[in-house]
A and B are shown apart, each in its own frame.
Chain A
Amino acid sequence: MKNTFKVLLCVLVLTLTGAASGPAGRKDNAEPPIVHNADADTMRVQGEQSFRANCGRCHAAPQKFPPRVMATVVRHMRVRATITDEDMRLVLFYMTQ
Chain B
Amino acid sequence: MVLSLLAAFAPTLATAQTEAVEKPVPILSGSAGYFNFVTAGQNLIDTQFNPVLLLPLGERWLVESRGAFEGQFQRPPGGGPYGGPVNKTLDYLQADFIANPYVTITAGRFLTPFGIFNERLYPIWIRSLQPDPLTLPIGTADSDGAMVRGGFPVSSGANMNYAVYASVASVGTTGLESERHAGGRLGFFFPGPRLEVGGSFEKFLQGDRTNAFGFHMGWQPAKVPLNLRAEFARSFQGSGYWVEGAYRLSQAHRWQKQLRRTEVVARAQQFFSGSVGPDQAQALNLPSADAREGDFGVNYFVKDGLKAVASYGRQFGPAGNFNQWTVGIAYRFLIPLGRTGAP
B220 and A76 form a contact (CB under 8 A): no
Residues of B within 8 A of A (CB): 2, 5, 9, 11-12, 14-27, 54, 56, 59, 62, 64, 96, 98-106, 119-121, 125-126, 146, 148-153, 159, 161-164, 166, 168, 180, 182, 187, 189, 191, 194, 196, 205, 218, 220, 227, 248, 301, 304-305, 334, 336, 338-343
B334 and A83 form a contact (CB under 8 A): no
Given contacts A20-B9, A29-B20, A75-B20, 13 further A-B contacts (CB under 8 A): A11-B148, A15-B150, A19-B103, A22-B101, A28-B16, A54-B191, A57-B196, A68-B24, A71-B23, A75-B24, A78-B19, A79-B104, A85-B101
Given known contacts A4-B182, A59-B126, A67-B341, A15 and B103 CB-to-CB distance under 8 angstroms: yes
List residues of chain B with CB within 8 A of the CB of A22.
Answer: 100-102, 152
Question: Is there a chain B Cβ closer than 8 Å to A53's Cβ?
Answer: yes
- Cα–Cα, bound, A28→B152 (Å): 17
- Cα–Cα, bound, A49→B334 (Å): 24
List residues of chain A with CB within 8 A of the CB of B11.
Answer: 20, 24
- Cα–Cα, bound, A89→B150 (Å): 15
Question: What secondary structure prevails in chain A residues at the interface with B?
Answer: helix
Given known contacts A7-B182, A15-B102, A66 and B336 CB-to-CB distance under 8 angstroms: yes
6 tightest CB-CB pairs across the interface, nearest first?
A82-B151, A85-B101, A82-B161, A71-B24, A66-B340, A72-B24
A19 and B101 form a contact (CB under 8 A): yes
- Cα–Cα, bound, A88→B20 (Å): 10
Of A28, A60, A80, the contact of B119 (CB 8 Å cutoff): A80
Query: Interface readout for A55-97 with B: 1 if CB under 8 Å, 0 if not?
Result: 0111110110111111111111011111111111100100010
B27 and A73 form a contact (CB under 8 A): yes
